[in-house]
Structure 1
């Protein structure tokens, strides 16, 4: 079991919803990115968290780097513009979490190419990955490594 604060667990809200509500696509899409203000903590099995958003695929950073270099994948930075302006990774596309969910995919985001999503520490990337999946991106992977860790792992800055 892993304990998750309500604000970090917002992307997994559908776990707590009724089965009837879960069959309504608009409820799922909107709840996937809902920000909860309560300070409650939820205990949810780790496998549920990983499988809920469909973003738990294993990855190796070297393979991610190769896919990005070959143009077979896209790197989405879901930090806010101020963070992006302070520094970002080469080839990344800015898609702030605050702009999700939207009725359409953000400009430049492909629904058919693998999307690797990162933020500063991982929490926003998980929520954004869930939103992107609900918006139709077929293969979304939330990188556990944040911006600084990706730089340290050899991803080049812009």
Structure 2
């Protein structure tokens, strides 16, 4: 009995997920369907932030998909749709924002951090190498004492 109850509860909980993000759009041309797919893969979900709007289940992603579909139906080209979304939500809505003064940190930041990390590693390695080296200049007394110690040790 407990197994049947668990199965029913699990089935009912999964029933809501099964139809959550299924959008059906009718396109006049097959090219529009491919453009829709390309555009929705290129926009970031503002709620999820790590998913594109094509794959996101959030309500705002569904609204953005409807907006892209509407603009495709109005005959707008990709550039006009992208410009509208950027104007409304900023460059953050794009997965690959253009390189400009506002987005330079997004493009150059990871490389700068990587180069900085390599620089720190090189500095640490060089400093450790210097610590293990024997000093080149010994005084005359230190040289005699070292020779005596080495002679005793070898006998």
How does the TM-score come out when normalised to structure 2? 0.22
Whichever structure has more strand as a proportion of its residues is 1
Query: Larger Cα Rg: Structure 1 or Structure 2?
Result: 2
How does the TM-score come out when normalised to structure 1? 0.22
Whichever structure has more helix as a proportion of its residues is 2
